[in-house]
Structures are given as C-alpha cells and as structure tokens.
Structure 1
Amino acid sequence: MFDINNLLRENIKNLTPYSSARDEYTGEASVFLDANENAFGSPLHTAYNRYPDPLQYKVKIRLSEIKGVPARNIFLGNGSDEAIDILFRSFCNPGVDNVIIVPPTYGMYQVSANINDVEARKVLLTPDYQLDMEGIAEAIDKHTKLIFICSPNNPTGNSINRDDIETLLANFSGLVVIDEAYINFSRQKSFIQELTEYANLVVLQTLSKAWGLAGLRVGMAFASEEIIEVMNKVKPPYNVNEASQQLALEALNNVQQVNNWIKETLEQRDNLVLRLKEFGFVQDIYPSDANFILVKTSDPKKIYDYLVSKGIIIRDRSKVELCEGCLRITIGTPSENNVLIETLQQYK
C-alpha cells in the first residue's frame, strides 16, 4: 500500500519552506514595497522588475483546461529536469536509498542520481526495448524509492507496454515516474488520466518538444495533490521566471497550431523512414512514437562525421547500451529532411 510518509525523507517532512513576498501577499495593490524590487522598472521594453507568481497560477489554470487535470495536481519547473531533481531531493536519502532506471533511456535520471548520491540500479530493456519485469522485481528492495520509465522512450522512440507500467503502479510501494516528453507524437494516451487510480504515479511532460518552447525551459509534473505539495515545498521560490510564464501562457492559446505541427511531423517521420530505407548502409529503423527515429547503420561514426562536415548535426548513440550501431535523427522540416537525404546520397 502506498503511503507518502513512508517515502519522504525526514528532513523534508519537517521542512519549513521559504516564504517569499509573493507567498505572503497574492492580491492586487497600487503600491508594492514589500519585496525589495527596483520600483523604477526594467531597462527593457517589457518590465520584469517584479517577482513572478511563485506557483504560476495562470499557466496552471490554462494547462488544466488543456490537459483535463486540476491545477492543484500540476507542478511547473525549470524544465522537466528540475522536477526530476526535486523528486530525488524529496524522497531519496543520499547514500541509503536507490532508484531503478531502465537503459537505454534519458540520461538525466542517472545524472540526478549521481548528483544526489543515490544509487541508480540499471535494469536493461529487453532486445525489443520493453521492460524486463522480472529484472525490475529482483532489483527492488526496501530502499527503492523511484522507478523512472520514459515512454515514448529516448533514444529508442518506442512506447513502453502500458500493461507492464500498470503492473508496476499496482504492486510497487514507491513512486513510478513516467516521463512523457514525447507523448504528443504517440499513438498511446497519456497516463495523466490515471492519476486518480494510482496514488504513486508521477507523470512528467514538457513544453520543449511538440510545443516548440525548449528555450523557455518549462516542464510539468502531474501527480496527487500531496506529492505536488511536497514538490512545491522543496522548489526554489521563483523557479519559473516571469518571461517564461507570460510566453508559455501566450503559446498555450495556440493549440491548433501545435496540433498542425504534430500532424506534419508524423507525416515527415513516415516519409523519412521510407527514404532512409533505400540506403544500403541502413540496417534497421526502429518503430517510433516520437519526433525522432533510431537508425541502425553499418558505420555510425563515419556517417556522423560525414554529416557534421556538411553542417548537419544528428546524435551518435552507437555507444549506448542496446543501441550499438545506431544514430538518432530528429524529424526536421521538409526542406531539412530533403537536405539530409540529398547529403546522404553523396555519402561513400
């Protein structure tokens, strides 16, 4: 049975969070002399001299309308990476607890574990890039606090079997963190609709991918109200700046534009796969539910270096476990994809 008090670090249970000026007064006023801000403004066209809303209320309300999740179940961070780090700092005792990661997967889970002095137990995905359920069960002990699952997975591009994830949610007493950074491109539905079913579920999403806001650094976590309260307690007071909040709110009013881009990305992905299959050095292209494809080639290093010499940058993933020989290619615009294909046609 999941009980958040059995997971929380003792110092976090007893933590009194920093109380900012904007926590103590949230209404409207004609004169603000409480936060030691520069009252004269900013040397910019837009004034950023006032501290932002520490809980990003307006952005959360708009996200609530789009996602169908109450605002109280939403955490916003400086990218999803901040949410990952806060989960470690809230629930994992350094040098004592452990988490489970399932490589090949997003590298920040391991990095955050290292930063926080928490053991990351690796249970490799199966050859078809699905969960090794027996391996995960064997890796779990009384100090296992978090299991990280990226779905659709980076760098492989595939979605993880939903039944397997639900089995973990139903049987693991810690938190199951599902990273859905690429969910907008997937045929599978998001797990955020399951929040009321699983108290130990945390879903990560981002505005960096389909929404095209990578430069703003706005990540989302969806979870039970008690988990969100913990994350808000631990985060820095003003973790999402005012410019990012304003621009994210503006972007969130353009859902149709994003949906059109998603549709075109999927069309371009299918087209790129067909064209790449014509090359003799392409040995396999793995099924993708994301805005990138994983391509197995006969000589990834030479192909990568050749493309770099032509000003085309992809990712060499050939040294990643279970991705030997593989290059990861993001789906570009039609013209960018054409340049890639035309350049590869000249490769010898």
Structure 2
Amino acid sequence: MSTLIDTLINDNLVPLKPYESARRLFSGGQDWLNANESPFANDYGVDSSSFNRYPSCQPKSVVNGYASYANVTKEQLIVTRGADEGIELLIRTFCTPGKDNILICPPTYGMYAISAETCDIGVKTVPLKSDFNLDVEGICATDNVNLVFICAPNNPTGTQVARADIKTVLEHFSESALVVVDEAYIEFDADNTWATEINNYPNLVVLRTLSKAFALAGLRCGFTLAQAPVIQALLKVIAPYPIPEPVAQIAAQALSSDALERLQQQVSELNQEKAALAAALAAVDGITLVGDTKANFILFRFAKASALMAYLVSQGMLIRDQSKQLNLSNCLRVSIGTKAQNQRLMNLINAFLQEDAA
C-alpha cells in the first residue's frame, strides 16, 4: 500500500511535513501556555432540534453579528472554519497551482507557507527587518505575487505593523495582488485594525478569528473581510456546508452585546496579566524580552532556552519554542494565562535557574 501511496501522492507534497501545531507537539501537561489560547472558558448552550438538517453555508446570525462587530457590511464578510480556512481559500481562489506565488515576511505565522505549498503555490519571502518592521522596499521590489500576507499584530513577535507601511504596500500592489492583513490578535490592539479601511482599498483583505480574545479556539470559527467581489469569489470555492450548526449557534451567542462586554473585560484582564508577566520576565537575569506585546503572548530570549523548555515540559508547563524561526534563536513564546498559571511559570523558571546554578 505504501508503494501505491508513494505513486499517487502529489509531487509537491512529498517533501512537506505536517504543521507542528502546539497540540501536535505536546499533549498532556498541567498548564497550556503554548497555543495563544485564552485561559477563559465561557458557558454556551445549543439547540439540537435541527441537527438532522444540513446547516446554512453562511449562517445569517453569525454573518450579521460579526459584520456589526467589525463595522463592515454582510456582503463584505465570509465565515470560515477558523482563519486558517480563510488563508487556504484565498490561495485556492486567487493563485494558479504551479504558476503563481504568495509573499510572506518571516518570522511569522507558519500556515501561510504551508497552505501555499500544499496547493503547489510558490512562496517568496521578504524577512522582517532586525527591529521586526516590514521591509517595505524589499516587498515592493518583489514581483509575480498574487497574495501578500502581513500578520498584524505579528505572531510570534507580538509587534504591530506601521500603518504607513501597510498603506504603501496596498498602493504598490493595487493592480497586481491582494494584501492580506491577518488580525487574529487585533482585540489586543484594537485601534490598529484595517477593517475600517476595506471600502478604501479593493485589494485589502482582513482575516479574523474567534480563537483568541473570544476564547473559542475549540470552535474553529473565523472570518475573511474584504470588498464584495473578493467575497463572491471565495464563495465559489468554499465547501457547501462549512459551518456546523452547533458552531453557528455558539458563535452567534459570542457576538451578543453581553458576550462582547465580557470579551472586553477578559481582554483587559489579560492585558494586565501580560504587563505583570512581562515585568517579571524582564527582571530575570539572562532573559531578554523580544519584539513587543501587542497580542496575548510574550516572546523572550534565553541562552539556555532548550534546557529551560525541557524542564518546563517535565513539570507540566507547556510553552512554545520559536528558536527555529528566522532571527529568533533561543526564543521562547508564552501565552498569557491566569494569574495562577503565570505565577507558576515564574516559580518554575526561578526553580530552573536555581538548579542550573547549583
């Protein structure tokens, strides 16, 4: 059978490895601070009376609720299975396999490249500058790209992208490429959203998700925002029933006025915890904060990152090693947890340092 599979598999898939998600890398553990999830688990209920029926392709309650939340029209939005499906839909819709390319700016989210490679789409890279700002000149000097992916705030550096830089990129590619601004973490830096600019740029696309600030990573629900022609093109490619009925019901509840008020309270609490954890980490001898803290995580560099990571995992504390990323040697990323989880992390780091010194 393996010979048959080796014969049939698409040639472009042979050298690829599955994406190393946080859950795939590590299971178990006591504290999960490795996937940029929210530590909050909010209660929801579902009505099962219609589970015997196929769901709506684009559930009205979710479309209308998120359009209102994001200040766009319902024609400027498509609901997807997480922002990850939005990435894949854009690539499948606007790139021809074996011919076209996307552009990414590492270090950044890994699924842009993986989604492109699985679709036999080329990946051109223009690394971020040493201060993690966009290399605008390098981006604009790159031709033959259909999609430009910019993560803002960026994962894993936690840095925002200068608005003037994104504007320059949008204008440069106005006639040749879509510029995709991934706002998975925008609730932690809400004033810098590009959703409010969709009417001004026909080639602007914004990705959103309920996985981070909304505390619904398990739901797999995301959104792609753009002008209507982009959305209509994506609707040609998306599966007939992409959003399960339980997902639609919970997403609609999460977009109610009461739930959005709770969202703001939880974001505020996470931002306070983030500031406290950043200060505690910065005070540790040998630890240097890297990038910025515009999302729900902190990136830091430590010379013995590998040993520290192994020790934390052995103690049930899961964080994320980002050392393989471009210009992030010896860097670890920690998602913001509860006060108790953050304190346990610091206690374990201090215990490691004591053991190491001994």
Give yes or no for TM over 0.5.
yes
Q: Give the distance between the partners of 2:48 and 2:189, measured in 1 at CA.
A: 40
Q: Give the distance between the partners of 2:138 and 2:291, measured in 1 at CA.
A: 23
Q: Give the distance between the partners of 1:256 and 1:119, measured in 2 at CA.
A: 42
Question: 1:284 offset after TM fit, Å?
Answer: 3.1
Residue 297 of structure 2 aligns with which residue? 292
> Which amino acid is 1:232 matched to?
L
Question: 1:58 offset after TM fit, Å?
Answer: 1.4
Q: 1:67 to 1:278 in 2, by over 3 A?
A: same
Residue 109 of structure 1 aligns with which residue? 112
Question: 1:318 offset after TM fit, Å?
Answer: 1.0
CA contact (8 A) 2:158 2:291 kept: yes
- The Cα offsets for residues 228-248 of structure 1, whole Å up to 9 and x where unpaired, read as 011111100101110100011
> Which amino acid is 1:197 matched to?
N
**Based on CA coordinates, which of the two structures has the bigger radius of gyration?**
1
Residue aligned with 1:195, SS: helix
Residue 210 of structure 1 aligns with which residue? 213
Alignment of 1:88-167 (within 5 A): 88-140=91-143, 143-167=144-168
> Which amino acid is 2:215 matched to?
G
Residue aligned with 1:93, SS: coil
> Which amino acid is 2:82 matched to?
G
Residue 203 of structure 2 aligns with which residue? 200
Q: Give the distance between the partners of 1:280 and 1:117, measured in 2 at CA.
A: 46
Q: Give the distance between the partners of 1:284 and 1:105, measured in 2 at CA.
A: 17
Residue 313 of structure 1 aligns with which residue? 318
**4+ long deviations beyond 6 Å:** none
CA contact (8 A) 1:96 1:118 kept: yes
Q: Give the distance between the partners of 2:49 and 2:310, measured in 1 at CA.
A: 43
Residue aligned with 1:144, SS: coil
Residue 29 of structure 2 aligns with which residue? none
CA contact (8 A) 2:131 2:291 kept: no
Residue 9 of structure 1 aligns with which residue? none
Question: 1:124 offset after TM fit, Å?
Answer: 0.5
Q: What is the TM-score of this pair, normalised by structure 1?
A: 0.85
Match of 1:236 among 236, 239, 243: 239
> Which amino acid is 1:170 matched to?
E
Residue aligned with 2:170, SS: helix
Residue aligned with 1:346, SS: helix
CA contact (8 A) 1:300 1:327 kept: yes
Matched, 1:82 2:72: no
Q: What is the TM-score of this pair, normalised by structure 2?
A: 0.83
Q: Give the distance between the partners of 2:67 and 2:227, measured in 1 at CA.
A: 14
Question: 1:78 offset after TM fit, Å?
Answer: 0.6
Question: 1:187 offset after TM fit, Å?
Answer: 5.5
- The Cα offsets for residues 246-305 of structure 1, whole Å up to 9 and x where unpaired, read as 011111111011100000010000000111122112033432100001101111100100
Residue 274 of structure 2 aligns with which residue? 269
Question: 1:192 offset after TM fit, Å?
Answer: 0.6
Matched, 1:337 2:342: yes
Question: 1:45 offset after TM fit, Å?
Answer: 5.7
CA contact (8 A) 1:283 1:298 kept: no
Q: State the percentage of identical aligned residues.
A: 39
Question: 1:144 offset after TM fit, Å?
Answer: 1.2
Residue 280 of structure 1 aligns with which residue? 285
Question: 1:47 offset after TM fit, Å?
Answer: 4.4
Gaps of 5+ in 1: 1-43
Residue 185 of structure 2 aligns with which residue? 182
CA contact (8 A) 1:159 1:188 kept: no
Give the count of matched residue pairs. 303
> Which amino acid is 1:190 matched to?
T
CA contact (8 A) 2:140 2:169 kept: no
